[in-house]
Each structure stands twice: as structure tokens, then as C-alpha cells.
Chain A
Amino acid sequence: MSPPLLSAHGLTKAYGSRLACAGIDLDVTEGEVLAIVGESGSGKSTLLSLLAGELAPDSGQIRYRMRDGQVRSLADLGPAELRRLMRTDWGFVRQDARQGLRMAVSAGGNVGERLMGLGERHYGRIRGQALDWLGRVEIDAGRVDDPPSQFSGGMRQRLQIARNLVTAPRLVLMDEPTSGLDVSVQARLLDLIRRLSAELGLAVVIVTHDLAVARLLSHRIAVMRAGRVIETGLTDRVLDDPEHAYTQLLVASVLAA
């Protein structure tokens, strides 16, 4: 069996005396969705920033299996190598689309920009791929020249997904991608994420406070509290037969619809 695509060992990060992440171990591989759940302040967003290389850990390390099959420690990659990885092999879908998109640039430009980062310069090909991806995330081709500032919240999130997936990444990090959306919009987005991640065999790490989202999308789950992973395993097992007192509280606190 090949090693996991991404693995973290003993990841620790403190803000002053407060431990945001304390000795986190996790791994994810192709075709697998890992959900990180927990309440505000549990450290789940810090963890995602650490995994994305946006934040340097105080200790611990992150290893990644590169496209050539070599497993490298992210700390050993040069800035140029790391940037290239982020732009091509990784995607990051953010809760606030304004942080993940260029709001004044056209939808087509938002998708094309990642391709240009890969060195693609042929306008027709870039536009063709952008249109193809807009179609795959169910955005009408007639909107290709409109900027996302004119899009609804759900459309912006779908555009973010297109922008990230156009370079055929293997790993996609998602930070609360569906929160703040109307439920009908949420259902459509969840369906899209699930379908694309399965079709493309993506490794996905998704941070969410919504256990229903975790259940629908993820294969495995890690429950965080006060900077630690307190319970982890098969998603349906952890949610249906939670072992830890805090997980039992989380599961019991969800309103059944």
C-alpha cells in the first residue's frame, strides 16, 4: 500500500500560553474525505492553516507524497517548490469566498488564473477550460465575464471550487465551505463536492462545525477540543456510537430535523 498523500505528526502550535493545536497526528489519502469537527476555538482552523503551510508549527511535521512518488517534509521544501505545490497540486476552498477569489476579476479570469500560474498562455485554451469548469460546477456559461462580486453566495463557493480544481489537484483543503449559505444552496453544494471528490479521487480535509455535513461528505472524522483530537475513526461509527464524553455531548446537541 502506498503511503498516505498527506500525513501530520505531532503538530503543535501555541498562541502565547494557549495551545491551539497540541500534538496532532492525522493522515489522508487519495479518494478519502477527512472531516475535522469541533466548536469555535477548538483549534480546527489553526490545524487547517498548519496543513496548508500558511502557519509554521512550533513542532511536529507534515509529509506529502509528491507527484513523483517521493515523500517530502514540507519544512524541507523551498519557498518556490512550496508555492508551486499550493498553486497546482493543492486547493484551498475558504469559508469566505472573498478570500479565495479575486472579486473584481471575471469568473473566467478567476478560473484561468490558476492555469496561467502553471505557465499556460494560450487564451483560447484557458477560456475553454474555464468554461468547461464553470459548467461542471453548474454556473451558466453566460456568466463567464461577470465578476464574482455579482454572484450569490452559493455561486461564489462553486466558482471557488472550479478555480481550485482546474489544475487537477490531488489534495483539497476546505474550511467551512457551506456555512452561511441557505439550506437549499447548501444541499446543492454538498452534492457537488461529494460527486467531484469521488469522481476525481481527491484527498479532502474539510473543517466544519456541522456534524451533518461531516456525515454526508466524510469517510473518517476527527473530533477536536481545546487543541487536541479527542476521538477519531470511521465517521458513522464516531457519530452513531461516540465514545468520548465530549463527542457524546456534541452529537446529543444537534437538533434533529
Chain B
Amino acid sequence: MTALLTFENVAKSFTLHLRGGVVLPVVGDVSFTVAPGECVVLGGPSGAGKSSLLKMAYGNYRCDAGAIRVRDGEAVVDVVRADPRVVLALRARVIAYVSQFLRVIPRVPALDVVEAAGREGGLSEEAARARAKDLLARLNLPERLWDLPPATFSGGEQQRVNIARGLIADRPLLLLDEPTASLDAQNRAVVAELVREKLQAGAGVLGIFHDSEMRDAVATRVVDVTRFAPQARAA
């Protein structure tokens, strides 16, 4: 079976033009795959490039070399070289990305934020509404908050809105960047359950979880990012 996500000899560095063009290497020679039903967790200390790898897979960061192939039904798309419109289509149908941070239009209520994500992901209005309510209830977001814009919510509440938004549609590839960082144990368990349901449905997950309990609950494999540390180039 073809992998959902394949990193092939990917390298990434940042060139800081405002700092005299200094080059910060991030990762080099990254190769691994994520298969359907698999939850690959990126391990390694902070600063090793874990978040950058997720952002590259989402098309949010450029790559210097290599290919990142994402399966879209029968087709395979290289995110590194794909036209912006193709990347956007992939995000609509295939790739969900959940970060720690909620970034939304200021005055839109929480329930609408989640529902809109469902419709953007191909659900009907009714299905999106029903799933949005179901997810927010499962994530223990008090119902009195549903009609309020999330801007005034606590960190944990915002994060749960963000998770609901990321998981509402049936996208086959999930990129999870510490989605449970400010959640309590009970809600972390809910997220673990939601992720396992996605895996059982055949989705693939590439994730970062600092919390070891969460990692143990969902990981099928750990990829140590320190092995992709860029080698100092020979002069």
C-alpha cells in the first residue's frame, strides 16, 4: 500500500537576510513515511526541527531539497514543488493541520468556526453543524461558550476549539503539533481517543507530543529527529 506521506531526502535551512545572510540549517536528508492507520510521532529536543517538518509537509515552509509526497486518492502530489492552488486543494481534502494556536477571524462564534472548517472540508451544512456540536461536547467545552467568539477563551478552551476545527472533516492525513499542550488529563484522554478513531478509519498521523502519556496512547512509531541533524558542510 502506498504511504500517505513520504519525506524523501528533504533538507531545510533558513537564510536570514536581515542578519547579514547567515544560514541556519534546520534538517538534512530527511526520509521517512507515514502509512494509513499509522501514528508517527516525531521525537527529539526542542529546536531539532520537529515543527518545521510538519510545516513543510503542510506546504507552509519551503524546502531546499528533496520531495514531500502526499497521496491524494489515486494521485501523489509533491508539496515542495506543487502550485499554490494544488497545495490549497490538498489542504481542503487531504491534510489537516492542528497547531497549538487558534488563529481565527475576531468576531466569529466558536461553533461557527468549527462548522465552517467542516464545510471547507467537504461536509454538508447539516453534517458540519452536527459534528461540530458533537466534537465540542466531547471535548467538554461548556455549551454556554459555543455562541461566543473564542478570542476571550482560556488557552485550554481555545485549544479545544482548534482541535475540533482540525478534526471535524474526514481528511486522511493529520499533522498534529502539540495539540494537547495546555489541556488537562481528562481532555488529553479525549483527544487521544479522537486520534485513535481517525487511525482506525484509515487516517495517517504525523505528530509532536511532549506529554509522554499522550504519546504512549497514540504512537505506533517514534522517529527521532536528531538523526536528521544537518551535517556541517565540508569547507
Contact = CB atoms under 8 A, between A and B. Distances in A.
A32 B62 contact: no
B55 interface: yes
B60 A252 contact: no
Interface residues of A, number: 22
B105 interface: yes
Interface of A: prevailing SS: helix
A236 B105 contact: no
Nearest to B58: A236
Contacts, number: 49
Nearest to A220: B84
Most buried by B among A32, A237, A248, A252: A237
B142 interface: no
Interface in A210-257: 216, 219-220, 233-234, 236-237, 240-241, 243-245, 248-249, 252
A51 B87 CA distance: 26
Place the interface of chain B in its size category.
10 to 19
Interface stretch (A75-83, A145-153, A185-193): A185-193
Nearest to A246: B17
Given A234-B84, A248-B18, A241 B108 contact: no
B59 A234 contact: yes
A249 B18 CA distance: 7
A245 B17 contact: yes
B61 interface: yes
B69 to A, nearest CB: 18
A191 B106 contact: yes
Contact of A245 (B18, B87, B106): B18
Interface of A: 29, 32, 187-188, 190-191, 194, 216, 219-220, 233-234, 236-237, 240-241, 243-245, 248-249, 252
9 contacts: A187-B105, A187-B107, A190-B105, A216-B105, A236-B60, A237-B61, A241-B61, A243-B15, A249-B17
Closest 9 CB pairs of A and B: A245-B17, A234-B84, A187-B106, A241-B61, A191-B105, A248-B17, A220-B84, A241-B62, A236-B60
